[in-house]
Amino acid sequence: MGDFTLELNDDQKSVRDWIHGFAADVMRPAAAEWDEREETPWPIIQEAAKIGLYSLDFYAQQFFDPTGLGIPMTMEELFWGDAGIALSIVGTGLAAVGVLANGTEEQIGTWVPQMYGDADDVKVAAFCSSEPDAGSDVAAMRTRAVYDEAKDEWVINGTKTWATNGGIAGVHVVVAVVDPDLGSRGHASFIVPPGTPGLSQGQKFKKHGIRASHTAEVVLDNVRVPGHCLLGGKDKLDERLARARERVAAAAAGQADSAERIKNAAMATFEASRPAVGAMAVGTARAAYEYALEYAVDRRQFGRPIIDNQGVAFQLADMRTQIDAARLLVWRASWMATAGRPFTAAEGSMSKLFASETAKKVTAQAIQILGGNGYTREYPVERMHRDSAIYTIFEGTSEIQRLVIARALSGLPIR
């Protein structure tokens, strides 16, 4: 593991420029069309697959970048191109990470390649966790998985919501309750293979932004999956549940290993993924800033470029400063996660919070600089502003990020 650095090496710069070229030449020209169509941009995903940008190998290389900057660099460039199309390209990664983090070697080798398919037969995957009554409150999850020992099958019933690629995916990764008495510690993840009876798409959401990314409910009605589709296997699950029961009993008896400490340990896992969302927000914010800067230089009013007015110039100065600050927080957190440094001050949440709020603010300022033009769909900043709203919501709302940070700073179970 190398020291923290603010300078990309030559290989990273080459990859960055390659992704940027795809974002500029393929994604951006198609962005408005797919936003209006509100459909998955299969041709764009296929183009990404043809050059190796949509593939397990590429994302694995970026994930294992020893500097920690591979993933945030990739996310920033793709989301600079267009947030909706980018989310369609990277959304499968949510399910892949779920298998990579919890699955056995055999499960990883069997299912992750199927999630992507190949350039001639592109596939997508879906990670299904949120529910109508269980978003930030994961302990309220109701989807149940019951083991049928006679058939060595798990029977899953419930409804998932806000699932990227939900219903159109080949492989679905579903989080379900296996022991209701343990709350969030009684959950497990399951592979639902392509064509499994009982899984269907529910409502497809018509969204404010990121409209080129498919988001829908997933309904599971007596879905039966083989025992080998439990991620990690039955023995590992039984051991984990036994430990959780011991800890809950210890907490009830007032011993040191309390339920709150267990919850904090689980939260630390989520912390490591949040810088990637921050990098997405940085990409969208940068795109809006760059467009507004070019517009302010070219647009003339009262015989001079509008950037000659301090009211415009100072806004652009603030926008660039906030974007750079957000990127620094994202890079720090990404490096810390790769280096195994503990997020003692919730640095992962800090990066996601600041970057997502920056994206909303910067894209709104870009509309203001363009004036009436910025409010129309003839110019892209309107779409970027709609897209930016999601960053303060998914992967934990800004309010949840502040709660996590406050708890980390104080050591208290702040509500």
- pLDDT tens digits, 363-380: 999 999 999 999 999 999
Residue 411, pLDDT score: 94
Which percentage of the chain shows pLDDT scores above 70? 94
Round the average pLDDT of the chain to a whole number and report it: 93
Contact predicate 146/224, CB 8 Å: no
Q: Is the CA virtual torsion 230, 153, 185, 173 positive or negative?
A: positive
Contact predicate 287/27, CB 8 Å: no
CB atoms within 10 A of CB 96: 26
Three-state secondary structure call for residue 207: coil
Residue 196: closest CA among 102, 101, 94, 128: 128
Cα separation, 213 vs 390, whole angstroms: 12
CB atoms within 10 A of CB 415: 5
Cα separation, 96 vs 86, whole angstroms: 16
Least confident of 147-161, 196-210, 254-268: 254-268
Catalytically annotated residues? 395
**How crowded is the C-beta side of 124, counted as CA atoms within 13 Å?**
27
- The domains of the chain, with CATH numbers, are 10-122 (1.10.540.10), 125-253 (2.40.110.10), 268-410 (1.20.140.10)
Contact predicate 188/145, CB 8 Å: yes
Q: What is the pLDDT of residues 69-81, one digit of tens each?
A: 999 999 999 999 9
Contact predicate 175/237, CB 8 Å: no
Residue 271, pLDDT score: 62
User: What is this structure's pTM?
Assistant: 0.93
